A and B are shown apart, each in its own frame.
Chain A
Amino acid sequence: DAKTTQPPSMDCAEGRAANLPCNHSTISGNEYVYWYRQIHSQGPQYIIHGLKNNETNEMASLIITEDRKSSTLILPHATLRDTAVYYCIASGSARQLTFGSGTQLTVLP
């Protein structure tokens, strides 16, 4: 898996958009970008993944730069329940996921 770099922590006001960056400058052509989050003492929750194009689902949007060296996860209207550690992972389709240290997002009331 390509190495990913994320800020260790971020704050966001409730109701505002949370934009979580991830750098994956060594990503290879067949590696997807996955985002998971982990709320304290729970298993990780799948959020979204993408290869080249921007993706959107009911939880979030994923913006991948044209050169694929970085991406941004967007939670459009953050709530207190979105407080969690967010993991960005670059991985090929047949490989296991390697978790880094992630970003602790704290949504403030």
Chain B
Amino acid sequence: GAVVSQHPSWVICKSGTSVKIECRSLDFQATTMFWYRQFPKQSLMLMATSNEGSKATYEQGVEKDKFLINHASLTLSTLTVTSAHPEDSSFYICSARASGTSGANEQFFGPGTRLTVL
């Protein structure tokens, strides 16, 4: 199946610093990538939709100036958490959508990045 990687798998940073998370589709091209956030014992919440070569679309309540998304190529999207604070500590997961001949567009998920802000 399609493989999506994320880097780093975990990161610990001090409050006020910025953290960049990379999401790569390894064996397919992804015109659309998605960024999710998951807090403990909760389900995944969509943060933003990232289309290659254009600005990301953010979900309501997600600050676009705090969570910077860049989708510069068909295989790479990055999420930068700027001026991170302890409440930004979470599990960040990306996914990439592959177009299938059936017309459905199943998404393939990365392994996630655990962010801890001290």
Chain A contact residues, CB within 8 Å of chain B: 32, 34, 36, 38, 41-46, 49, 51, 87, 93-94, 96-102
Contact = CB atoms under 8 A, between A and B. Distances in A.
B34 to A, nearest CB: 6
Q: Main SS of the interface on chain B?
A: strand
Contacts of A44: 44, 93, 95, 109
A38 B102 CA distance: 24
Contact of B43 (A41, A46, A94, A101): A101
27 contacts: A32-B104, A34-B106, A36-B109, A38-B44, A41-B114, A42-B111, A43-B4, A43-B93, A44-B95, A46-B106, A46-B107, A46-B109, A49-B106, A51-B102, A51-B104, A87-B43, A93-B105, A94-B105, A96-B46, A96-B49, A97-B34, A97-B107, A98-B46, A99-B36, A99-B44, A100-B43, A101-B43
Given A43-B109, A98-B46, 8 more contacts: A41-B114, A44-B44, A44-B95, A46-B106, A49-B106, A96-B46, A99-B43, A100-B43
Q: Main SS of the interface on chain A?
A: loop
Interface residues of B, number: 25
Nearest to B42: A101
A57 B4 CA distance: 20
Contacts, number: 52
Q: Which of A34, A87, A93, A96 has the most CB of B within 10 A?
A: A96
B1 interface: yes
Contacts of A96: 34, 46, 49
A45 B109 contact: yes
